[in-house]
Amino acid sequence: MRRTTAALALLSGFLYVCSFPGVSVPGLIFLALVPLIIALHRAISLREAFLAGMIFGMAHIIGMTYWLYYAIHVHYGGSLLVTVLIIVFAAALPVGLHAGVFSLGFAYFRSGRIVFSALAVPALWVIVDYLRTISPVTLPWGLPAYAAIDCTRFVQMADIAGVSGVTFVIVMVNACVAALIIRSMDMSGALHVREFARFCFAQSGWRHIVRMNWPIALIVVLAIIVPILYGTAMIARWSHSGTVGPDVGPAIAARIVQGNHGHKERWSDDTFHGRLDVYTAMSNESYRTGDRRIVVWPETILNSPARVTPALLEKLIGFMGPQTVLVAGGVRRAPKDALYNSVYVLSGSGHARWFDKNILLPFSETRPLSIGVLGRYYEAPDEFAPGTTPPIVRSDHAALGVSICFELIYPWFVRASVQKGADLLVNVSNDAWFGDSAEPRQHLDIARFRCIENRRYMLRASNSGISAVIGPTGAVLARSGLFTRESVDGAVRAIPARSIYTRAGETAVIGSLVVVLAMLVLSLFKKD
């Protein structure tokens, strides 16, 4: 493998990481993939292209998920060797292989035509990203679209084609910019960047480049301007939640309680009632009896199955008041001793319902191949049973689309809850495992995307932050700090209308599959 190819792949990995929270250079994601794509255009073999993809994939995911070190080594007490092995083989290698598959497809179909850069390259990327979403060995973390969440107007098109549609356009821009650079260098006859720069800054060099490559430049401009225009219209429609339509429900007061208890304290049976007193007291501060409201507690607060009895749930309902719906993360022991990571939904009318986490996190909530790599953490269970309850729980005030922690990162899972009738989203989580790192911020950005896709409000409660009230445009209406004990107040509305994405699903993935199959058929005909 040539050094230049490896260097370009590493550069893309570095730029990609800098596009996300931690560095968050605005708009960098629209250029971050350019070095990789140039390297793939110049690759002399399929092997070199595959290795370039592997280098990029492993480099960027290690840079983005450095916070796994905090969870595995600092909190779980895993050895440095175990920590490195898990990061490399459970996180970096699978993502590297997926990026390698993208690069192989790129090299196989490689073409200098505009249609290749504008359609084939983003289609390949979207398909590989979708494989990460449905693969049991990878998490769909750090998709390109999430880096653009603060380009608020641009990402509003997610309500049409989801996160995959936004990713498609971002990769299209990167691929077209890379094609423009390659064509321009070939046109100038420059072999090195310095020579190319001299040509561009000559009296008429850049004008000649633009004139000869205007279709590609036009695609780049339209790919950015059209979504922004659409997003401007959508923000104007959805920002004023009281005027979005006659079917939107009245405002509901919401309070998110962030107790910020330490891990060992949270899993100690001896402090269970003391922690419960903190949460109930914070929930009822400044509460005016009779107001309709929803109170949300984070993941695994009611985490002592022996103490979470019908009598306790009835007592909590009494504490909260008749007009309150309490959503609280907990642990539920079912018949045959099955243990679930659950969410309890307690309505003031006396109803108690629950949701059991469907998608469990490998190694911390499951033991793949019956191997407990991390082991038990204090009194916390090291294995849960996968839930089978649907991700929607009906309460007195709204039908809640519930997700627990990383279930939020699966677009199809949240979408399924809205399809079943959820008109308000709730996520309970605990990101304290990852310290004061980029992870809580990245997780919050993903939550914002789910709101845009489905045009729903979301109440997100995290034990140590970041807890937030998020609007249907992805705007953070109220939020907490990190590692603080506080409550977050806001107002939400139940929205029954369904977005195009909610109704139609992964149209960007289907369209990408059609494009790639068409490219494959054309390539086979050419060979014949």
Q: What is the pLDDT of residue 199?
A: 56
pLDDT in tens, 23-58: 889 999 999 999 999 999 999 999 999 999 999 999
Say if 125 falls within a structural domain.
yes
Q: List the one residue out of 173, 170, 16 whose CA is nearest residue 99.
A: 16
Virtual torsion, Cα 104, 106, 112, 117, nearest 10 deg: -170
**What radius of gyration, in Å, describes the C-alpha atoms of the chain?**
25
Domain shared by 295 and 216, yes or no: no
Range of the domain at 61: 3-238
pLDDT in tens, 319-370: 888 889 999 999 998 877 789 999 999 988 778 899 999 998 876 777 655 4
Domain shared by 194 and 260, yes or no: no
Residue-averaged pLDDT of the chain: 88
Domain shared by 255 and 222, yes or no: no
Q: Compute CA distances 367 → 146, 364, 370, whole Å.
A: 29, 7, 5
Q: What is the pLDDT of residue 266?
A: 78
pLDDT band per the 50, 70, 90 thresholds, residue 201: low
Q: What is the pLDDT of residue 240?
A: 62
Say if 388 falls within a structural domain.
yes
Q: Report d(CA 447, CA 460) in Å as an integer.
A: 8
pLDDT band per the 50, 70, 90 thresholds, residue 181: confident
Q: Report d(CA 217, CA 221) in Å as an integer.
A: 6
Say if 522 falls within a structural domain.
no
Q: What is the pLDDT of residue 197?
A: 56
Domain shared by 199 and 67, yes or no: yes
Q: Which long-range contacts (CB under 8 A, 24 or more apart) does 113-120 make?
A: 114/176, 114/179, 114/215, 114/216, 114/219, 116/179, 117/172, 117/175, 117/176, 117/178, 117/179, 117/216, 118/172, 118/175, 118/176, 118/216, 118/219, 119/172, 119/515, 120/515, 120/516, 120/519
Q: Report d(CA 41, CA 91) in Å as an integer.
A: 27
Domain shared by 174 and 255, yes or no: no
pLDDT band per the 50, 70, 90 thresholds, residue 183: confident
Q: What is the mean pLDDT of residues 438-459?
A: 96
Q: Report d(CA 174, CA 219) in Å as an integer.
A: 11
Tokens 């705007």 locate to: 475
CB 396 within 8 A of CB 321: no
* Beta strands at 424-429 and 458-462: parallel, antiparallel or unpaired: parallel
Domain shared by 428 and 303, yes or no: yes
Q: What is the pLDDT of residue 246?
A: 47
Domain shared by 380 and 333, yes or no: yes
CB 439 within 8 A of CB 427: no
Number of neighbours of residue 180 by Cβ within 10 angstroms: 19
Q: How many structural domains is the chain composed of? A: 2
Q: What is the pLDDT of residue 178?
A: 92
Domain stops at, among 204, 238, 272 = 238
Q: Which of 137-141, 344-348, 441-445 tops mean pLDDT?
A: 441-445
Residues above pLDDT 90, as percent of the chain = 62
Q: What is the pLDDT of residue 243?
A: 46
Q: Report d(CA 282, CA 256) in Å as an integer.
A: 9
Q: What is the pLDDT of residue 242?
A: 46
Burial 419-443, CB ≥16 within 10 A → b, else e: beebbbbbbbbbbbbbbebbbbbbb
Domain shared by 412 and 379, yes or no: yes
* DSSP-H helix ranges across 119-204: 121-134, 158-188, 193-200
Q: List the one residue out of 332, 328, 343 whose CA is nearest residue 297.
A: 328
Q: What is the pLDDT of residue 267?
A: 78
Phi-psi region of 387 (alpha: psi -120 to 50; beta: other; left: phi over 0): beta
Residue 292, domain CATH: 3.60.110.10
Q: What is the pLDDT of residue 7?
A: 94
pLDDT of 131 > 80? The answer is yes
Domain shared by 228 and 302, yes or no: no
CB 412 within 8 A of CB 484: no
Domain shared by 225 and 265, yes or no: no
473 or 333: whose pLDDT is higher? 473
**366 DSSP 8-state letter:** B
